[in-house]
């Protein structure tokens, strides 16, 4: 168990802290067709990703809805997909369903735990704990990855990004990760309180599986268009994406709210604008220490940034300002 927990959100940008990412799974993809199959099926440029590198990608359904967010990491003999733990089995089943004539297999790696360090001193903290990582690893492009030796066993490191900042994600067996966590306690590296980590995610406008990614949202509605490779050929759900892009039709988008009245909204609360126009719904709620509550919402594109909206929370009406929106393209 960690020696101490911190509620200081500035550690992830000014120092270092361990952060919880809500549960993460690794899917191992094997077979001679693994690169070509994943390139054809998902939205990212898998064929353009070399060994030791990675890319941000999505798995869509045939109507273009996001069913999974993927960090695709190419290794010499396999491809690893870093996904939300709650989505892991569903993504594996979907990939297996579409791999009819391909030499491709996918499985969720068992007995894997993640320690995510965020902040400019992440590499230094790992080195102090005994993890041998390349000197330049923290400066490599996002989703770069490497194996690393440690006194506790073999680890797999990924250059990740979450909560609005870069970090080092360290994967190992449950036993190896527990030993590393004990070593990090001695450095010491505190654990960021889960409620603070969630508030930072909301403040950064990052969609989460089960909250914003619910199987009925499109990539551009969630601000995930950076995971779309518009230069590649067909992929699952591409027709809907291209049609929406070419016609400029995005009726709603992910936006951030700052509450201006007492009371805490909840996911699912209806948002109204002007003459009780039903403008959207709250998807996530959080609060940084000493600050007003913040929220993410799927909001109608007709509602501009800077206006005040009403959040219907039971019998209460809470006022909130629309403070940002995720980029559509």
Instruction: Write out the two tokens for 129.
Output: 């704990």
Same domain, 193 and 266: no
Q: Is residue 328 part of a domain?
A: yes
Longest alpha-carbon distance in the chain: 64
Half-sphere exposure of 168 (CA within 13 A, CB side): 27
Q: Is residue 206 part of a domain?
A: no
Residue 213 DSSP label? B
The count of domains in the chain is 2
Residue-wise pLDDT for 41-55, tens only, equals 999 999 999 999 999
What distance in Å separates the CA atoms of residue 147 and residue 239, rounded to the nearest whole number?
Answer: 38
pLDDT tens, position by position, 23-80: 999 999 999 999 999 999 999 999 999 999 999 999 999 999 999 999 999 999 999 9
In three-state secondary structure terms, 251 is coil
Give the helix ranges, DSSP H, for 156-225.
Answer: 174-186, 194-204
For the entire predicted model, the pTM comes to 0.95
| Reported confidence tier of residue 276, pLDDT bands at 50, 70, 90 | low
Q: How far apart are CA 182 and CA 167, in angstroms?
A: 19
Give domain status of residue 107, yes or no: yes
Does residue 45 sit within a domain? yes
**Is the distance from CB of 206 to CB of 164 less than 8 angstroms?**
yes
Q: Which domain holds residue 299?
A: 251-329
**CATH number for 303:** 2.40.30.110
Q: 284: which strand partners?
A: 296
Residue 75's closest CA among 7, 172, 157?
157
* CA distances in angstroms from 161 to 13, 49, 117, listed in the order given: 12, 18, 10
Residues in the chain: 329
Regarding beta strands 5-6 and 191-192, do their DSSP bridges make them parallel or antiparallel, or are they unpaired? parallel
């Amino acid at each position: 168990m960690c020696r101490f927990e911190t509620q200081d959100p500035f550690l992830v940008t000014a120092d270092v802290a361990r952060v919880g990412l809500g549960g993460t799974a690794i899917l191992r993809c094997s077979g001679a067709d693994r690169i070509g199959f994943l390139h054809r099926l998902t939205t990212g440029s898998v064929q353009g990703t070399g060994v030791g590198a990675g890319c941000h990608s999505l798995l869509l359904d045939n109507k273009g809805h996001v069913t999974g967010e993927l960090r695709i990491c190419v290794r010499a003999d396999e491809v690893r997909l870093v996904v939300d733990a709650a989505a892991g089995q569903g993504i594996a089943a979907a990939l297996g369903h579409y791999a009819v004539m391909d030499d491709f297999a996918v499985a969720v790696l068992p007995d894997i735990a993640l320690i995510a360090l965020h902040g400019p001193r992440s590499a230094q903290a790992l080195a102090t704990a005994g993890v041998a990582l390349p000197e330049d690893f923290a400066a490599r492009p996002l989703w770069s990855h490497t194996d690393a030796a440690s006194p506790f066993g073999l680890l797999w490191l990924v250059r990740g990004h979450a909560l609005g900042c870069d970090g080092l994600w360290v994967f190992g067996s449950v036993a190896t990760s527990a030993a590393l966590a004990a070593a990090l306690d001695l450095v010491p590296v505190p654990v960021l309180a889960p409620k603070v980590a969630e508030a930072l995610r909301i403040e950064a406008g990052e969609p989460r599986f089960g909250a914003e990614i619910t199987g009925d949202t499109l990539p551009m509605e969630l601000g995930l268009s950076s995971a779309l490779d518009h230069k590649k050929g067909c992929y699952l759900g591409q027709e809907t994406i291209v049609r929406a892009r070419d016609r400029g039709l995005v009726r709603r988008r992910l936006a951030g709210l700052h509450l201006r009245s007492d009371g805490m909204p909840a996911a699912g609360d209806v948002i109204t604008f002007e003459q009780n126009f039903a403008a959207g719904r709250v998807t996530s709620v959080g609060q940084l220490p000493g600050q007003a509550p913040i929220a993410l919402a799927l909001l109608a594109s007709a509602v501009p940034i800077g206006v005040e909206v009403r959040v219907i929370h039971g019998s209460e009406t809470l006022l909130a300002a629309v403070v940002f929106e995720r980029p559509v393209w």
